[in-house]
């Protein structure tokens, strides 16, 4: 019986923590980007013939015009980075002007820059305020100069709460890399380019700066059924406009999401397989031990049958006996689950386990224990009363 208690406690500890880690992968995979992902595609272009003094923005405008002429393309925009594309552009936000640029004050924010129609094309939801006007955009000739010229900014709701708490952030002035900017709009959701587990992944903002780089990501909006074809034709148009350009990463945005979270998906599948294997081994172990108990108690079962016990009484007896042992194992397993969780928090940055995962583990182990003992219990119920006379 002690062996069974230890087996249940070990399985319960592992199951609870595995469910916790799996839930994190599921939540990460389904994080809301803030974009209208359906019908959104992307392709990146790098101009190999450009030099440091080139006006890349002028070539970007020509490329967008070439894509816009394609029948079936609803809208085109150019951006430097996107949620989930891994290309982070970090700048510092603070509510007041830091006394020293190197004192580490402020909040590190993932900033997005792009063409004037970027906000509309992405389908971002502005809950307060407005978007930028074309007159507010400045060319990114130099990062510091561009931020100094840009006088307005859009921020996410999470960043607004981070900076101003419960106060209304709309209309407030923030200092972006020591340059004052006024918050003219608040975006409901805008995921960072490289979200991680357990982090504040929406500390993001949009700055009205036109991308001026030799590598640009073009966004294409089209009907979902035509998106692949429109992306292929857009790539052809870019190559025709600039044969020296290198075109890559031509795919729907939904594929970008799958690519970014492919390791989490693979880990989730591995956890599911491990969880199933652990439950199977636990069920086999419980069934084996209960079968052993039945074989050792055949004579006493026969006596009970001879005294009038029904088959259902024998089955109920073994099921109740099993659940008592499982509950004892769960009592030990709760301590084991929290101990393992503390280890994962300390060494792997996992979050503390909530009660819901304990309840999940309890239900799973009780059901598994009852299923494992049901077969041996039914076999015990079939022992005839004459078994009591054997060996006499």
- Evaluate if residue 63 carries a pLDDT over 60: yes
* 103 — pLDDT class (breaks 50, 70, 90): very low
Average confidence (pLDDT) over 269-276: 92
In terms of DSSP bridges, do strands 126-129 and 173-176 run parallel, antiparallel, or are they unpaired? Answer: unpaired
- Evaluate if residue 220 carries a pLDDT over 50: yes
Beta-carbon count within 10 A of 196 CB: 10
- Evaluate if residue 254 carries a pLDDT over 80: yes
Average confidence (pLDDT) over 264-288: 91
In whole angstroms, what is the distance from residue 319 CA to residue 100 CA?
71
DSSP assignment of 273-316, as one string?
A: HHHHHHHHHHHHHHHHHHHHHHHHTHHHHHHHHHTT--HHHHHH
- Evaluate if residue 391 carries a pLDDT over 70: no
More confident residue, 271 or 381: 271
Average confidence (pLDDT) over 184-198: 90
In terms of DSSP bridges, do strands 215-221 and 126-129 run parallel, antiparallel, or are they unpaired? Answer: unpaired
Q: What is the pLDDT of residue 243?
A: 83
* Helix, coil or strand: residue 75: strand
Q: What is the pLDDT of residue 272?
A: 92
By C-alpha distance, which of 175, 195, 212, 183 is closest to 34? 195
CB 332, CB 5: distance < 8 Å: yes
In whole angstroms, what is the distance from residue 358 CA to residue 306 CA?
43
Q: What is the pLDDT of residue 102?
A: 47
Q: What is the pLDDT of residue 147?
A: 83
Average confidence (pLDDT) over 162-176: 92
In terms of DSSP bridges, do strands 209-210 and 138-139 run parallel, antiparallel, or are they unpaired? Answer: parallel
Q: What is the pLDDT of residue 313?
A: 86
Q: What is the pLDDT of residue 389?
A: 57
* 50 — pLDDT class (breaks 50, 70, 90): low
pLDDT, one tens digit per residue, over 284-327 is 988 988 888 888 877 787 787 777 788 888 888 889 988 999 99
Q: What is the pLDDT of residue 101?
A: 47
Window from 41-55, 105-119, 227-241, 345-359 with minimum mean pLDDT: 41-55
Query: Phi then psi for 92, rounded to 5 degrees?
Result: -100, 135
Average per-residue pLDDT for the chain: 88
- Evaluate if residue 171 carries a pLDDT over 50: yes
Average confidence (pLDDT) over 226-252: 90
Residue 280: Cβ-neighbour burial (10 angstroms; 0-12, 13-18, 19+): exposed
- Evaluate if residue 206 carries a pLDDT over 90: yes
């Amino acid at each position: 019986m002690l062996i069974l208690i230890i087996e249940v406690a070990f399985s319960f500890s592992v199951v609870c923590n595995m469910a916790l880690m799996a839930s994190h992968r599921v939540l990460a995979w389904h994080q809301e980007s803030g974009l209208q992902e359906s019908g959104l595609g992307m392709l990146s272009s790098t101009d190999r013939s450009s030099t440091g003094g080139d006006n890349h923005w002028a070539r970007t405008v020509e490329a967008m015009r070439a894509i816009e002429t394609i029948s079936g393309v609803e809208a085109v925009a150019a951006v430097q980075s996107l949620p989930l594309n891994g290309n982070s552009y970090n700048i510092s936000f603070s509510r007041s002007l830091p006394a020293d640029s190197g004192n580490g004050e402020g909040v590190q924010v993932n900033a997005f820059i792009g063409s004037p129609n970027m906000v509309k094309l992405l389908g971002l939801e502005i809950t307060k305020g407005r978007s930028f006007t074309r007159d507010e955009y400045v060319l990114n000739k130099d990062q510091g100069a561009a931020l100094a010229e840009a006088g307005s900014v859009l921020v996410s709701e999470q960043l607004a709460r981070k900076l101003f708490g419960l106060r209304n952030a709309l209309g407030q002035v923030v200092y972006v890399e020591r340059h004052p900017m006024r918050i003219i709009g608040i975006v409901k959701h805008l995921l960072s380019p490289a979200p991680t587990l357990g982090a504040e992944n929406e500390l993001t903002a949009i700055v009205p700066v036109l991308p001026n780089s030799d590598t640009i990501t073009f966004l294409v909006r089209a009907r979902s059924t035509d998106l692949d074809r429109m992306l292929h034709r857009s790539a052809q148009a870019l190559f025709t406009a600039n044969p020296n350009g290198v075109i890559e990463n031509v795919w729907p945005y939904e594929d970008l999401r799958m690519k970014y979270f492919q390791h989490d998906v693979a880990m989730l599948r591995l956890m599911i397989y491990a969880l199933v294997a652990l439950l199977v081994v636990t069920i086999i172990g419980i069934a084996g031990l209960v079968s052993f108990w039945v074989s050792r108690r055949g004579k006493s079962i026969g006596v009970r049958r001879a005294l009038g016990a029904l088959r259902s009484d024998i089955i109920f007896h073994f099921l109740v006996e099993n659940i008592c042992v499982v509950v004892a194992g769960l009592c030990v397993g709760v301590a084991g689950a929290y101990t393992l969780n503390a280890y994962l928090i300390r060494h792997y940055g996992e979050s503390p386990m909530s009660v819901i995962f304990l309840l999940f583990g309890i239900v799973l182990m009780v059901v598994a224990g009852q299923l494992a003992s049901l077969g041996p219990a039914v076999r015990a119920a079939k022992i005839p009363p004459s078994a009591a006379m054997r060996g006499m």
